[in-house]
Amino acid sequence: MRNHTELSEFILLGIPQIQGLETVLFAIFLFIYLFALVGNLLILIAILSSPALHTPMYFFLGMLAVFDIVLPAVTCPKMLLYLSGQSQAISYKGCATQLFFYHFLGSAEACLYSVMSYDRFVAICYPLRYSLIMRPEVCVGLVIGAWSVGCVHASIVTSFTFRLTYCGPNQVDFFFCDIPAVLPLACDDSSLAQTVGSAAVGFLALLFWFTICLSYMRIGIAILRIRSAEGRKKAFSTCSAHLAAVLCYVGPVIIIYLQPAPNPLLDAIVQILTNIGSPMLNSLIFSLRNKDVKSSLRKVLHKIILTPQE
C-alpha cells in the first residue's frame, strides 16, 4: 500500500434517515451484538470442553463461532460509538484496516460455509468412508485454505482501493469503510479498482454458490434414495442447521440485489443484519437445533452457575 494521501481521516456519515433514533438503535444493536458475542462464545466453549464434540462437523462449527465473534467486531464497535454521540471520524489507516478485515473475515467465512457443505455431503453420501475422507489433517487444511483465500482476496481489494490518492472530500456515505463507499472519494481514476473489486467479489460468490448448490444437489439425491421416512428425516436433520445458517448469511444480500431501486436506508439495515444479525441467529440455530451442543451447553452453564457457590 502506498500511503501518499493528503487525507489523515475519513468521516463516517453513518446510517441515513435515523435522526432522533440514535439512542433506540444503540440499545437494539448493542443487545444484538452482545447476544451474538456471548452465544457464539458459549458454543465455542461447549465444543472445546466436550470430547464427544471433537469431530470434523463440530470443528467447523467451532471455527464458524470464531468468525461470528470476530467479524462483528470489525464494524459494530465504531457504529455503536457514533450512535452514542461519539466522534464519527476514522483515521486513514483505520479505514484501510477496517476494509481489509471486513473482506478478509467475510470471504473466509463464505469459504467456511462451502467447506461445511462439503463436510455434510461426505457425511450423507459416503458415511462409511467419512472418517477416512475427513481426517484431522484434511479438516485443518480446508480451514487454512478458507483463511488463505480470505487473506488473498482482502489483500487484493484493499491494495487496489488504497493505492489511489484521496485528497478531496473525506465523508464516507456509509457506517463503515467499504469499497463502494470509499472509491467515489478518490482523486484518481478508480475504474481499475472497481473492476478488480467486482471481479474478486464475483469470483468468491461463484465459488460459494457452486460449492453449496453442488453439495446440496448431491445431498438431496442421496436423501431421496433413502427408503425409510425416518432415515430421510435423520439425514436431512444433519444438514438443516447449516442450510438455515447459509440462508441467514446470503438472505440479506439477495434482498439488496432484488430491490427495484437503490435504497441507502435498506442497504444499511441489511448490512447491519448481515454483520451482527447473522452471527446472533447462528448461535441460536446451532444451539437449538443440535442436541449434542445443547447438552454440552447445559453442562457448561451448570458449571458456571455452581462454581461461584462452591
What is the DSSP annotation of 212-233? Answer: HHHHHHHHHHHHHH--SHHHHH
> Quick one: pLDDT at residue 5?
44
pTM for the model? 0.88
Q: Domain 9-309 has what CATH class?
A: mainly alpha
Report residue 63's pLDDT band, with 50, 70 and 90 as the boundaries. very high
Q: What is the pLDDT of residues 77-130, one digit of tens each?
A: 999 998 888 888 999 999 999 999 999 999 999 999 999 999 999 988 898 899
Q: What is the separation, in whole angstroms, between the first and last Cα of the chain?
A: 55
Mean pLDDT within 197-215: 87
Residue 155 buriedness (CB in 10 A; 0-12 / 13-18 / 19+)? middle
- For the chain, percent of residues with pLDDT exceeding 70: 92
Residue 73 buriedness (CB in 10 A; 0-12 / 13-18 / 19+)? middle
